[in-house]
Structure 1
């Protein structure tokens, strides 16, 4: 990629980025469906081989070029293929491996991703086998790197079609998570619970709403049910959220049930000065405002802050907003309550983001834990004596939760952990640890659609 400092966009006064051939939009195929499969293979390669986040590549305005040229129907297909491929990747790879006489050559990564994309359609999506096979062979023939393997592609995929039930049965005990992460889960939660967590991420994500009032009433109107968190979970909803009753008038907002827990740990915030650090997209900010707080929402990304402000406007709620890195915040007045939902590895959200475990590793978790320790250490300096801070994130790794809090309490003597009372959370008692911290896992509430994995602790300044 080349940046030409002399060429600028007059309307934005920013350097114009020139696309390389690699970044340019690909040439369109005349064969229906082929472009979607090519896009899925390229994006899968970027996730697996280059550790690139899936969300950015599927962005409707700034996504991967191969994705951007597709129509809406093909974009939907690509998303479905990638979600299935990433959720079931170890099983898909194991099945392909069973059908190969010898491993693919080291340089045949494009062929590997082509086979995974095709197999995901045949094994886990409602795509006719003949269509998946024909398009995969066509894709192999169109790629100079894979052309000589076109007959192999045809043979492997036709066997998958013929032996689908037996092949799926042969891998049903295989956990669909990377080995390194399964080992970490087994160490922390035990082997049985680790398998339950791995199995839970294969379930489709739910849609949860935080409502301003009358959750039972909204559950009835929107064909949902109320969870122990007070959130309304929609049952088998398909369609656009914006068309639902209550969206336009701001009666509710979309927020995973587990993500709604941290803000509720403060209780009534009437008359209290509250900081929501790392605030975007604004669900927790809205909760804090609705609880009566005089909220300052902090976010260092201008675009994310703009989204937060738009969300608050729809909800008819207001907060002071600041576009600043929280490490640079200075506030002489101080805050009665601070919510720090810190950046993390997001390993508790793999139902929604199955790419997470393929784009992160143990080193990433260690780096993020170090960042969290730095952020929370600064956050407590903004807390008034007698004030409370809730530290939370959506990781299920203790190095990003309990260990961060342990380090903070050991370092700062005027802080104490405030135990959360399980009696205050009927139906979620199992999520409260022995020392009073929240620790949800994706395996909890399994009979009601599960939860994201979340950690939260309440810390008081003496």
Structure 2
């Protein structure tokens, strides 16, 4: 007996449309569907892209993909987020009337396909066909499948007209950059952030020798920079032997501000994943690495094991942490909005808000107030973070100096940052932006936005 004659389907099961195509039957479809879902999670729920695409604890649908498709998903999402404004403007020019307000899944699907057509070296036809298939498979988007086909085919034909123009970050983020750095510097920051970042390595040996061996360049800060890597980083010379670790050159600067720390007791607070811990340990310090997260400390210990370095690890809440005796030096790389890392983490402007920045600045001030109490008199505290907002950097430092007479600023000199005088503020803070450290080749240009200040406890 047919369904029309009264037979009931099994409870909880729905019939699929006649034109439904299972992902396993269409290569590449699952990756595009996952990319669309994850883009929605970033934009609608402000979910961290790093968390969604973590290879151990990421989104279940992402985890179900093979390594090749995971790489494709990350590439699609990177392009879609770095160029969100341009893609939105292009789609707006190609549709006859605005999409319905509730058509959020359709908008994400179009963005994923447009990112492939405009920015990735993938066949346009595949991007169009798979987007149409994905639309037909989704009950929310099925009635728009013909429109998806028409819009994307036209985008493919006319793409030279659309690669440029609109702002690719939320208005609040662009406004904050202009307020802090002026229009010209803000535009330079936004321009470089739209490009894929290079890969920086902190090396144990001579930077020039490693640059030659790895096909990169030696930076004045002592890091090695690679424009691209064919295959996995783990396959490069020196990885298995623990001769280097990935670390943006700006992130390597704070740990260099202690001078000679051989044999000294140094605490790396908020330490995971451990790049700065490794620097301190390699410099000969007796390092205590503290972090609130057991999982992050596990990762830190794994990284140190590969690097053949050691540190004491402590799982604790810094606000309540009291060591048996004060440290000789402390590095506090505090939790922050990460707005200085947008080039590597293009989801940040879409997952953070001005309110997040205010709350994080308050947390940083609280942690710094405590950090200076657990260093010995005469000891050094370096405070840093990867935010571009002065509220999380300069203001926190100024406020500490204003309210704590036991603390004095020790200005940083240009020689301590590879001679890059432009990174030193008039107060003696370190302030880098993605528009600094320019190179003739854009693929080798820029650095993370970072702030660092060095203090001494007088008594």
**What TM-score, normalized by structure 2, do the two folds share?**
0.92
Q: Is the 8 A contact 2:132 2:146 kept in 1?
A: yes
Q: Tell me the SS of whatever aligns to 1:250.
A: coil
Q: Indicate conservation of the 8 Å contact 1:123/1:164, yes or no.
A: yes
Structure 2 residue aligned with 1:76: 71
Query: Closer, same or farther in 2 for the Cα pair 1:364/1:114, shift >3 Å?
Result: same
1:330 to partner: Cα distance: 0.7
Q: How does 1:332-351 map to 2 (within 5 A)?
A: 332-351=324-343
Name 1:13's counterpart in structure 2: none
Q: Which residue of 1 aligns with 2:373?
A: 381
- Of the three residues 125, 129, 148, the one matched with 1:134 is 129
| Counterpart residue number, 2:142 | 147
Alignment of 1:35-114 (within 5 A): 35-114=30-109
CA distance in 1, matches of 2:121, 2:211: 30
Q: Residues 50 and 256 of structure 1: is their aligned pair in 2 closer, same or farther, counting only changes over 3 Å?
A: same
RMSD: 1.7
Whether the 8 Å CA contact 1:267–1:291 is kept in 2: the answer is no
Q: Which SS does the other structure have where 1:257 is aligned?
A: coil
**Is the 2:32–2:112 contact (alpha carbons within 8 Å) kept by the matching residues of 1?**
yes
Residue 363 of structure 1 aligns with which residue? Answer: 355
What is the aligned counterpart of 2:314 among 315, 322, 325?
A: 322
Give the aligned partner of residue 8 of structure 1: none
Match of residue 213, structure 1, among 161, 185, 205 = 205
Q: Tell me, yes or no, if the aligned pair for 1:175 and 1:199 is still in contact at 8 Å.
A: no
Structure 1 contact 58–64 (Cα < 8 Å) conserved: yes
Deviation readout 1:403-454 (Å, 9 max, x if unpaired): 1111111121111111111244344110111111000100112314210111
Alignment of 1:252-267 (within 5 A): 252-267=244-259
| RCO comparison, higher one (Cα < 8 Å, 6+) | 2
2:446 pairs with 443, 447, 450, which one?
A: 450
For the residue of structure 2 that corresponds to 1:314, the secondary structure is helix
State the Cα distance separating 1:174 from its structure 2 match: 2.4
C-alpha distance after superposition, 1:230-265 (max 9, x if no partner): 011124322222222222222222111111000000
Match 1:115 to one of 88, 95, 110: 110
Cα distance in structure 2, aligned partners of 1:238 and 1:196: 29
**Which ranges in structure 1 are unaligned for 5 or more consecutive residues?**
1-20
- Per-residue deviation, residues 375-412 of structure 1 (Å, max 9, x unmatched): 11111110111111000001011000001111111121
Question: With structure 1 as the length reference, what TM-score do the two structures score?
Answer: 0.91
Contact 2:82 2:346 in 1 (8 A): yes
1:286 aligns with 2:278: yes
Which of these residues, 401, 405, 408, is aligned with residue 416 of structure 1?
408
SS of corresponding position for 1:348: helix
